[in-house]
Structure 1
């Protein structure tokens, strides 16, 4: 069975056995590229941002390394990746951050060219004026204090108004929902929550060029990883039109943790995802791409 049809079938069966008002749409699998490099810092990639032309990207390691790359393509397929440069993600004092303090997970690029990075070891979001700059840590509300030590801000996204959105991987509201925190430049708020479904946990987020909010989710078992991509329309403090774009079986992809949604030269919506190999030989750094329905 072709992989695209298999993914559609899995999603259809998944929906048929549930009582949700959720629409399932079919994303088209384009391909995967196994990326290898001999650098000692290479691996553990938790976030990616792809340029509008699909030829350049920023990737973030969960050990506080930011890298700029060029992506070589042949039609719809990635055929090579070249590292242009890499920089340490520094503390507010300009220091290398060891251990959990340097567990960098989410990445968002602002219109002025600055970067925002979220961390889950010490729960926070920081701004970086340029690669290699000192961190400017955003205020931390009390709501961040009780988050799971190794399960907070894996995803970070920025909307067209420059507002940041982040969500914890594991910590939930009293009703079991996923809280979404928004920074408007002055303060944090929790404008809405997302319903958690079927044990999948959020690991990345992005706003697409269509204005919709995308969340990449992961489920882990002893035999491998499953991945799912959902999206919503956001109007003010309300989410509507939840859609499941794909859900994979165990082992279809590696540990996908980073997400970037963009529009290619043909005007098609694409999702590019990157896997975290956990610096283990049994895993791989993989870039995976899907075409998304408009």
Structure 2
């Protein structure tokens, strides 16, 4: 009980840190700039229980598999905004909202539970000419999709959707930018596209890219989003439910969209939620909606949960993996959490 109360005792401090990090963006100095990719040693502590002090594994349709609390040898480690697996449950690519790419591999034990991170490296983002970008507002990377060797990244502040060729040995500048359908003037400065994800090629959206903003709202208070490719190209909105904002999303094999959501307040601290948006509700000018699958507060092993991917394990199990953004704050943690989603 003491441990649990102590965990709640830092909730307000964590919430305050998130508010400060969202509002203050220090300029990057020349000393911060690093040429090329560089290795980072990751020290990881396994997390065995999702609910603090409880051995429960099942939370509705989600079964907790395991997790990691991570610390890196570089001061640039952290601020993870989005990631996608390049190999299911193993090699991954990600973006940090401080303007870095990162790559790594999830290590597993004989039972398949995550036990560490290996081969981790980071690289600062560059512009079309290969020059390091020193203006933080230009590289506030928040969303990520991967198809083949192409990474599609959503940026906020200077709102855009850009595509890059994936090369862990040396990421280069963008090869193109995409029309994101939503009028740029409607996007809030720090509430842009946090979700960039591609629908199933065989599904109703024919493999088109879908983008969802964090909390840019229409005049009815719903969250701006769009299908930006394919036969169903056009804007839609996601019904906002409570005080939660959207931090990432990925399509499930059946065509539904799984969204990761976050809320925080000085009183309640940080919360996270997984919400399943029915695929058929995603349509031009429609309001998409669906049920909550999981909600967790500071009595669980969560932090500022920002990143998510959905993947299929070798045995056919449908998996959901989450990462947190520590905002480079000593009050917050870099977490990796893994669940199995049991379908009805």
Please, what TM-score do these two structures have when normalized by structure 1?
0.85
- Summarize the alignment of residues 59-74 of structure 1 with structure 2, pairs less than 5 Å apart: 59-74=94-109
Q: Would the alpha carbon gap of residues 217 and 142 (structure 1) be closer, same or farther in structure 2, given more than 3 Å must change?
A: closer
Once the two structures are overlaid, the 10-residue window that deviates more, 59-68 or 119-128, is: 59-68
- Summarize the alignment of residues 124-273 of structure 1 with structure 2, pairs less than 5 Å apart: 124-131=160-167, 132-135=171-174, 136-139=176-179, 141=181, 143-161=183-201, 162-184=207-229, 189-190=234-235, 192-222=236-266, 224-235=269-280, 237=283, 242-250=290-298, 252=300, 253-273=302-322
CA distance in 1, matches of 2:287, 2:115: 37
1:107 and 2:147 equivalent? no
Tell me the residue number matched to 1:282. Answer: 331
CA distance in 2, matches of 1:261, 1:187: 23
Number of residue pairs matched by the alignment: 275
CA distance in 2, matches of 1:119, 1:79: 31
CA distance in 2, matches of 1:241, 1:139: 24
Secondary structure of the corresponding residue to residue 145 of structure 1? helix
Secondary structure of the corresponding residue to residue 199 of structure 1? coil
Secondary structure of the corresponding residue to residue 230 of structure 1? strand
Cα deviation for residue 154 of structure 1 reads 1.4
Query: Which stretches of structure 1, 4 residues or more, deviate above 4 A after TM superposition?
Result: 185-188, 238-241
- Summarize the alignment of residues 26-105 of structure 1 with structure 2, pairs less than 5 Å apart: 26-74=61-109, 75-97=111-133, 98-105=135-142
Q: Would the alpha carbon gap of residues 102 and 44 (structure 1) be closer, same or farther in structure 2, given more than 3 Å must change?
A: same
CA distance in 2, matches of 1:88, 1:201: 27
Secondary structure of the corresponding residue to residue 169 of structure 1? strand
CA distance in 2, matches of 1:160, 1:140: 19
CA contact (8 A) 1:261 1:269 kept: yes
Higher strand share: 1
CA contact (8 A) 1:225 1:251 kept: no
Provide the alpha-carbon RMSD of the alignment. 2.5
CA distance in 1, matches of 2:155, 2:241: 24
CA contact (8 A) 2:180 2:226 kept: no
Kindly name which structure, 1 or 2, has the bigger radius of gyration based on alpha carbons: 2
CA distance in 1, matches of 2:287, 2:312: 23
CA distance in 2, matches of 1:246, 1:146: 30
